[in-house]
Structure 1
Amino acid sequence: MNEESFQTKADLKDTGFGYTLSLIGGKYKMPVLYALYTNDGPVRYNQLKRMLGTISFKTLTNTLKELEADHLIHRKEYPQVPPKVEYRLSEKGLSLMPVLDEICYWGEEQMKNN
């Protein structure tokens, strides 16, 4: 393999695969997206925290901020005391769900075979 072909194959960040991983990579991004997807309607912060279990408040906050910055989720804040914030998938986030469903189906098949 020459150096040029190695360089081309090594630049995954410049591919669709690399872009997708930049959006959903990390320990909690896919679980957050899937939790929002499987819930009917918007989800409040504490409800999402309970759904995910072991995630810390700081990690959940950072994950939600990243997903919002990437336009995968919508955050709606209601001006009241105490503050009320709801999260839901955006259209872009919804478009990822067939991919996450396929990952789920693959995992279910693999669990059966073990």
Structure 2
Amino acid sequence: MSDTLREEIREKIVNGDYNCEKELTLSVLSGKWKVVILWHLGVEGAHRFSDLQRLFPKLSHKVLTNQLRELMEDGIVHREVYPEVPPKVEYSMTELGMTILPIVEMMYDWGKKRVQSIREEMQRSGEEDV
């Protein structure tokens, strides 16, 4: 989500003009990689930045940094810096973040079922597998 949109939503909440909870939820989840980042942190536990980079090889350093930063600003993800050399940093779900995990899991389940139904439709129509 753009910083401008984030500021607009925050301003609406502060002014009492915000009445679209769905928009707020979508604004937290918006971003090409946020849902899969949240799924891995919520299901697998804490990850280092390099672990997340390995999980998503097509994801640039800059985009991963921005997605994590936005999730931290929204209170969904926590960044823990350990006082050791070399520095160790881990990202994990906050208590608030864990409350959004059921939504992420439902999205995963829906996607899994949809992929299966598409494959079945293609097989019935004689097309190759997806």
Shorter-normalised TM-score: what interval? 0.7 to 0.9
2:35 alignment partner AA: M
- Partners of 1:52 and 1:33 lie apart in 2 by 13
Deviation of the 1:113 alpha carbon: 1.2
Deviation of the 1:51 alpha carbon: 1.1
Q: Which runs of 5+ in 1 are unaligned?
A: 1-12
Is the Cα contact below 8 Å between 1:74 and 1:87 reproduced in 2?
yes
Task: Tell me which of 29, 38, 54 is aligned to 2:43.
Answer: 38
- SS of 1:71's equivalent? coil
Task: Tell me which of 71, 90, 93 is aligned to 2:75.
Answer: 71
Residue deviations 1:59-97 (CA, integer Å, cap 9, x gap): 111111110010001110012222110011011111111
Deviation of the 1:53 alpha carbon: 2.1
Counterpart residue number, 2:30: 25
Counterpart residue number, 1:6: none
- Partners of 2:112 and 2:62 lie apart in 1 by 31
Q: Which runs of 5+ in 2 are unaligned?
A: 1-17, 119-130
2:32 alignment partner AA: K
Counterpart residue number, 1:61: 65
The TM-score, its normalising length taken from structure 2, stands at 0.72
| C-alpha RMSD of the superposition | 1.3
- Partners of 1:84 and 1:30 lie apart in 2 by 24
**Segments ≥4 residues shifted beyond 2 Å:** none
1:24 alignment partner AA: L
- Partners of 1:63 and 1:109 lie apart in 2 by 27
Residue deviations 1:8-55 (CA, integer Å, cap 9, x gap): xxxxx741100001111011111111111221x321110011112211
1:23 alignment partner AA: V
- SS of 1:82's equivalent? coil
Is the Cα contact below 8 Å between 1:32 and 1:52 reproduced in 2?
no
The TM-score, its normalising length taken from structure 1, stands at 0.82
